[in-house]
Amino acid sequence: MYLTSELVQAFKVQLQQSILVCSERGLFYASKWAAEILDGIQTDLLDAKVPFTQNETHIPTLSAYHTEYESSLAPLSEYDYNRYQYAKTLFYMRHFNAVIDVLGQSNHPKLYFLRLYSKYLMGERRKEEFMQDVLGSTESCENPELDSIYQELHENYHNLDAFGLYLLGIVLKRRRETFKAAAVLLESVRKYQYNWSAWMELASLVQNKKMFLDLRTLLNREFESSLVKEFFLAKVCIDLQGQGTIFRDIMDSLDDYFPKSAYILSQWATFYYDAMEYNESLVLFEELRKTHPSRLDDMDVFSNLLYLQNLKDKLCVLALECEKVDKYRPETCCVRGNYCGLKHETVESIEYFKRAIRLNKSYHLAWTLLGHSYIESQDSSTAIECYRRAVEVNNRDYRSWYGLGQAYEVMKYTSDAIYYYQKATDLRPQDGRMWKALASCYSTLKQDKEAENYNRRAEACDRRSNKSEMIQIARIFERRGKMGVAIDFYQEVWQRAVASNSIDEQIADICLLLARYALSIGRLSDAEQYAIPALNMNHPYHEDARTIIDEVRVRMNSQ
C-alpha cells in the first residue's frame, strides 16, 4: 500500500479518537496501542498550533462524545450519562459486580457493552479463583459466565454495535467456534476499525499461510486505504513467521511516517529474532531499551535472544532493570526465569515461569519455557504437559511443537517425536534445526535415506547471506536519525561487497551514501575510496561517483 501524508494525517486523527472511544469502554490495551503509535509519529505531521487542547478544530479528538464513532450512536440522557460515569469509575476499580448492578438492563450500546464486558471479566476472575496450582487438575475450567453472555448477545445480535460484536467474537472464540468468531470479529472491525483489541483477537484465529493470504486479499479489498489493516497484517506475519517479504514491504512504508515508534522498532527486533538474524535483532532490541527503558513489552523475546547468545551479563542487567519497572509483570518473571536458566538454576527458573503463568494463564511463551526447564531437570512427562498447554493457547508457535518432539525423543518414543518435529517443520521450514531433529530421528530408526534427505534440507537452510538484512537494519537507524549507527552497517556491507567484487545498483547506492557522508565530515580519502566502486556502474551512478571524486581532488589540492 502506498502511503501519503494525507492518509497518515487522517490515521492520526482516528488514533486520537480511538484512545477516547476504547478508554470509555475499558479497553485499555487498545488505547495503549493507539497512544504508542501516535507517540512515534513524524513530528512534522503534528499540528504546530498552540495550544492544541484549546483549539475548537480539535474538539472531535479531545471529547469522547464528539468523536466520529460516538456521534453515530444514540445520545445519552443525563440520567444514563450519570449512571455510565458511575459504572465506569467502578470498572476502573475492578468492582465488576457493582458495574452490573448500576447499569441494570439498559439497551444503549455503550452501557450494554460495559455491563456484559464487566460480567465477562467477573467470570474470568472466578475462573482464576477456581484454579489450583499451575499444573493442577482444575486448570481446564471455563469462564462460568460465558453461556449467559453468549445467550444475551446472540438474542440481540442484529442490534449490536462494533464493541458488542467484539465481545461476541471473544465469547465465540472461547467456546471454540472459530469460524463464527472470525466472521463476527470481521464484522466488528468493519463497523469500527480502530479497536486494536478486535484485530488482535482476529489475528489469533489465523492458523496458516493460506488463511492469511485469503484474509489479506479480503482486507485489501475492503480496507484499501486503512493503515490499521497494515499494522494488523504485519503483526500476523510475525505470528505465522515465514512471511518476511510481506512484513518488510509493510513496515518499510510505516517506518517512514512513524520513525520514533517503539512498537514498530519492537516488531522489527522480533522479526529478526524469529528469522534467526540474532545480531541484527540484538542491535534493535538494545536501541529499544535505550530509547524506551521502561517498556516491558517484548522483553521476554529479548531475554530469549540473550539466552540463546549466552550473554549472561546483559541478561542479568535486563532482569534487574525489568524488576525495577514492575516485578509482577509476566514479562519480568519470564526474563528472570531465562536468567536463572542461563545460570543453570533450574528450580528457580521453574518458579519464575510458573509465576508468569499465574499472572497470565494464556502466556504461551511462558508455558513453552517452563517445558524447557522441565526437560532440563529431566522431567519429560511434566514437560510434555507444559508444551501441550502452550499448544492449546497458541498452536502456531513452532517452539512448543519442537519441545514436544524433544521430550518424546528423550523418552525413546521416536515415532511420536517425528510427528511433532514434522509439525515444527511445517511452521518453520526455513529453520535447519527442525530438519536436523527429523534427520536424527530417522537415523535412530535406521532409515538412512530419509535421514540423509533431511540433513540436506538442514544444510540448505544454513546457507544464507545476510547482506539484505544488514542494509535493512541500517535504513531503520537512518530513519530514526541514528546516522552514525547506520553508517557502521553500511560500511560492513560495502567492505563485503568490495572484497567479493559483487557491486550491484544497491551497493552502488551505498557507495555514494558513504562517500557523501565521509565528504561531509572532511574524510576526503575515505570519500574517494567509497566512491570508486560505483565508477564502473551505469548512469547515474558513474556520473555521481565522478562528481564526488572530482570534488575530493579539488579540496585536496586547495589544502
DSSP 362-413: T-HHHHHHHHHHHHHTT-HHHHHHHHHHHHHH-TT-HHHHHHHHHHHHHTT-
Confidence band of 467 (pLDDT split at 50, 70, 90): low
79-88, 389-398, 465-474: lowest mean pLDDT where? 465-474
The Cα 537–Cα 519 span in angstroms is 21
Give 2-37 pLDDT, tens digit per residue: 888 899 999 999 999 999 999 999 999 999 999 999
pTM for the whole thing?
A: 0.85
Distances (CA, A) of 347 to 7, 129, 136, 351, 407: 52, 26, 18, 7, 18
Judge contact between 380 and 374, C-beta under 8 A: yes
Judge contact between 309 and 278, C-beta under 8 A: yes
The Cα 521–Cα 205 span in angstroms is 52
Q: What is the pLDDT of residue 451?
A: 86
Q: What is the pLDDT of residue 229?
A: 96
Confidence band of 148 (pLDDT split at 50, 70, 90): very high
Judge contact between 58 and 17, C-beta under 8 A: no
Q: What is the pLDDT of residue 138?
A: 43
Q: Is 248 helix (H, G, I), strand (E, B) or coil?
A: helix
Judge contact between 527 and 515, C-beta under 8 A: yes
Q: Is the pLDDT score of 472 beyond 80?
A: no
Q: What is the pLDDT of residue 462?
A: 62
5-14, 240-249, 300-309, 407-416: lowest mean pLDDT where? 240-249
What mean pLDDT comes out for the span 279-305?
A: 94
Q: What is the pLDDT of residue 489?
A: 83
Q: Chain-wide mean pLDDT for the chain? A: 90
Cβ neighbourhood burial of 255 (10 Å; 0-12, 13-18, 19+): buried
Q: Is the pLDDT score of 282 beyond 60?
A: yes
What mean pLDDT comes out for the span 341-363?
A: 93
Q: Is the pLDDT score of 291 beyond 80?
A: yes
Give 104-145 pLDDT, tens digit per residue: 888 899 999 999 999 999 999 888 777 656 676 544 578 899
The Cα 521–Cα 18 span in angstroms is 45
Q: What is the pLDDT of residue 482?
A: 79
Q: Which residue has the higher pLDDT, 474 or 487?
A: 487
% of the chain surpassing 70 pLDDT: 97
Q: What is the pLDDT of residue 140?
A: 54
Q: Is 291 helix (H, G, I), strand (E, B) or coil?
A: helix
Give 491-532 pLDDT, tens digit per residue: 888 888 888 888 888 888 889 999 999 888 888 888 888 888
Q: Which residue has the higher pLDDT, 459 or 42?
A: 42
Q: What is the pLDDT of residue 94?
A: 94
What mean pLDDT comes out for the span 457-468?
A: 66
Q: What is the pLDDT of residue 277?
A: 86
Phi, psi of 195 (to 5 degrees): -90, 95
Q: What is the pLDDT of residue 133?
A: 64
Q: What is the pLDDT of residue 122?
A: 95
Give 48-98 pLDDT, tens digit per residue: 777 888 877 888 888 888 999 999 999 999 999 999 999 999 999 999 999
Q: What is the pLDDT of residue 313?
A: 95
What mean pLDDT comes out for the span 230-257?
A: 90
